[in-house]
Structures are given as structure tokens and as C-alpha cells.
Amino acid sequence: MQRYFLNEEDFNGKTVTISGDDFHHISRVMRMEPGEQIITVKGNGMTAVTEISEITNDAVIGTIIEWKNEEKELPIRVTIASGLPKGDKLEYIVQKGTELGAVEFIPFIAARSVVKWDHKKVGKKLERLQKISKEAAEQSHRTVIPAIKEPMTADQLAGYASGFDHRLIAFEEEAKRGETSVLASVLKEITAGQSILFVFGPEGGLAEKEIEKLSAAGFVACGLGPRILRTETAPLYALSAVSYHVELLR
């Protein structure tokens, strides 16, 4: 069944009202009709099997058939801070990272980022990324939509990191030196409910001063295997490793 994330005010008892882009998708793209069923998700992660009862000119009206107790989320919270990459790579990271279970993404204004965001266009870029996150969360049958934070510098990341249980920097120099124990050790010790903040550099990698600032804030540099990964591949490797350790291995 198709899944749609809705606002709290869209639910009224057993009645659900769907408008905007989701209305268009149901009525125009999927061409659904009364009697068909969908999954509707509240902001708190509660999901319901909902039957379409009426389609008007601007809304889909549904009736909740049953509430479901789904367990689709990683048992730990993973935030990905990605150095601003070229082209549409950040969109790719958000889409695939959402599918793999991240709960938050931070565009990282790194010293070596070739891409510079125009302050006037930041709002539209974040809105675009949030839409991608929502669609990926629906496709992968998640119960929450990952948040897209405002862009941060290394100094801002260092301050933001205080709220996390674990802080890791994916650093290619550690991979070159053959470091393999840090990530494995963290994932072995981490417990349900804890959080990890991963920082990844852009195509040019992280500057030494950024490593120093983040290390002073409690970050630990780690390698991601013996191979050097692209900026859009590294976050997906990390999320896959997390999923294996805290979901499959346990």
C-alpha cells in the first residue's frame, strides 16, 4: 500500500483529510478510487490503514480502518553531516540515507567545499531536500521523516555535537593508515536509544583545522574500510554498517 505522511490536523477521529501534493499523487498519479486502501502516518510515527471514502476536487477523504504498531526505525539515532558536494550528490545522500535509516541530515559548509550556497536560495534548497526525504521515507515504509537542518560550519557542528552520545569523523587518512577498530568498537558498545553524529568531508576531504576543531569537541576520527570512498558513498557505508550491527547482528 502507498504510504503518506500527514500533519496532526489532517486527522479528526477516524476521518483523514489529504490535500496538497499528496492529494495530487493519490488522485492524479496513482488514480486511486474510493474503496482503495493506503497507509497514513501521523507526525508521532503512528500509522493507520486508511480506506479512501471520497475524492473531491481538492481533497481525499479517508476512514481509518485500523491502527498499526510498526517497528521500522533503527534502534539508535544517526545524524549525517555531509560536506557540501558538487551537483546533486547531496540529494542522493539524503534519498539513500533516508532509506537506510538516518534521522537527520546536516549540510556541512566545509573549508574545501567547491560548492557555495547562495544565502538567498538556502530556503529553497532545504525545502527540496526535505521533499526528497519525505518521498524516500514513504517509499521505504518508515514511520518518521528525517529532518534537514540548516547548513553548519565546523565551529557550529562542534557546538551541536554536545547532544550526541558518539561523534565520529570519517577521515580518509585513517583509512590509508589501515585504521579499522574505531567504528567497530563504537557499534559494538552502542545501546538502543543512543545517538551518533557522523561527519563526512566534501570531494576535497576535510582540512586539518576542521579535524582539530571537531576533535576538541569530542569527535574521533575513523576509517571506513581499506578503500577510499566517494563523498556520496561514505555516508551510505556508515549507515549500512550501523544497520548490520544494531539490527541484523543482534
Cell numbers standing for residue 118:
547562495
E-strand ranges in the chain read: 3-5, 11-12, 15-18, 37-41, 47-55, 60-68, 77-83, 104-108, 147-148, 166-170, 195-200, 220-222
Give the Å distances, CA to CA, from 145 to 70, 116, 200. Answer: 15, 26, 21
Distance CA 217, CA 112 (A): 20
Rounded to 5 degrees, φ, ψ at 110 are -85, 155
Q: Cβ distance 242 to 76 under 8 Å?
A: yes
pLDDT tens, the chain, 250 aa long: 999 999 999 999 999 999 999 999 999 999 999 999 999 999 888 999 999 999 999 999 999 999 998 989 999 999 999 999 999 999 999 999 999 999 999 999 999 999 889 989 999 999 999 999 999 999 999 999 999 999 999 999 999 999 999 999 998 775 556 566 899 999 999 999 999 999 999 999 999 999 999 999 999 999 898 888 999 999 999 999 999 999 998 6
Residues in the chain: 250
Per DSSP, helices labelled H in the chain are: 20-24, 89-99, 122-139, 154-160, 172-176, 181-189, 208-216, 234-243
Given this model, what pLDDT does residue 119 score? 87
Would you list the domain boundaries of the chain?
A: 3-68, 77-248
* pTM exceeding 0.75: yes
What one-letter code names the amino acid at 44? Answer: N
CATH 2.40.240.20 fits domain 3-68: yes
Q: Quick one: pLDDT at residue 44?
A: 83
Q: Which CATH class is domain 77-248?
A: alpha beta
Rounded to whole angstroms, the Cα distance separating 163 from 165 reads 7
pLDDT at residue 2, rounded to an integer: 95
